[in-house]
A = this chain, B = another copy of it.
Amino acid sequence: MNSLGIDIGGANLKVSDGREHRIIYFPMWKRARELKTKLRELSMEFGADRAGVVITAELADVFKSKREGIQYIAEICSEVFADVFFLDVEGRLSKEIDDPLKFCASNWMASVSFLVNEGFKDFLFVDIGSTTTDLIPVKEKPTAGKTDFERLKRGELLYMGVLRTPVFYVLKRFEGADLCPEYFAITADVFRVTGDIGEDDYNCETPDSAGKSVEECMRRLSRTVCCDLEELGEKKAKLLAFRAKDAMIRILRREIVTRLSEWDLETVLACGIGEFLVERACECIRLSEKYGTASKLFPAFAMSRLVEKA
């Protein structure tokens, strides 16, 4: 039987058996009740009754607390798979959840544990997903904080990604106007307009429920400065997208440089659906060069490899 690596995020399910990979948009805050059905489907599709699971969806606001979130999700996984392992933030695989709080947001630990097993040493691991960016220093061993709150404080978790981040969070002003904090446009709109992602890569919902064509993205971007596309014009809508992209590269570069110097590191290992952005921010090794598309869901891929050996 196959072993599946599963990374259960707030917005996406990421699944890999080491050869085949799937990212499924699955907004937990809306669809938590369908999780069991979805995991059963995936278990059949991959022919897998063994799974390694990491969870970050416990923060989704459908759960009252992280404890409740971890317990709910872990229970479902144990029901669906005959054999299931969970990874905690210390890097231990276990079949039981003793203390739920140790199993919150441990997906980065899967990635770096796997990379250390692969022979990489002393590096900064940078994984940009749809919503967040992990910056994990590994110096002899992983040195990152063990909770999201800790990692936020230490700059090891940037709440910025290449699809779901509201544009006004990365770009504060455009042409002298403050971008308005309405959920009008997201970074997926930015990267559609800059040409970095295709319509298929834009796998989350659009803020206005309209389509994902470049024109529709520009329409959404225009609203961020209280304009429609007619008023702002295509030229400026495009400029706004490139400015937002530049702003993200600058933020990323600043944070990467700071983490590298804090830990006296030189090597950056980049992955995630936003790998292309890390490449623009600094010299790095792109994990897609060695692992192909597994780079896009590296924690899930890493889990599939870690449980194979477990």
Chain A interface residues (CB < 8 Å from chain B): 29, 59, 61-62, 64-67, 101, 105, 131-132, 147-149, 152-153, 157-160, 165-166, 168-169, 175-178, 180-184, 207-208, 210, 219-220, 223, 225-232
Contact = CB atoms under 8 A, between A and B. Distances in A.
Contacts of A166: 181
19 contacts: A59-B226, A61-B184, A61-B220, A64-B228, A65-B230, A66-B230, A67-B230, A131-B182, A148-B227, A149-B227, A152-B178, A152-B180, A152-B225, A153-B176, A153-B177, A157-B226, A159-B178, A166-B181, A168-B169
A152 B177 contact: yes
Nearest to A105: B226
A169 B149 contact: no
Given A149-B226, A152-B225, A153-B176, A61 B181 contact: no
The winner among A59, A131, A148, A228 for most chain B CB atoms within 10 A is: A228
A220 B105 CA distance: 19
Contacts of A232: 149
A220 B60 CA distance: 11
Contacts of A219: 64
A182 B231 CA distance: 29
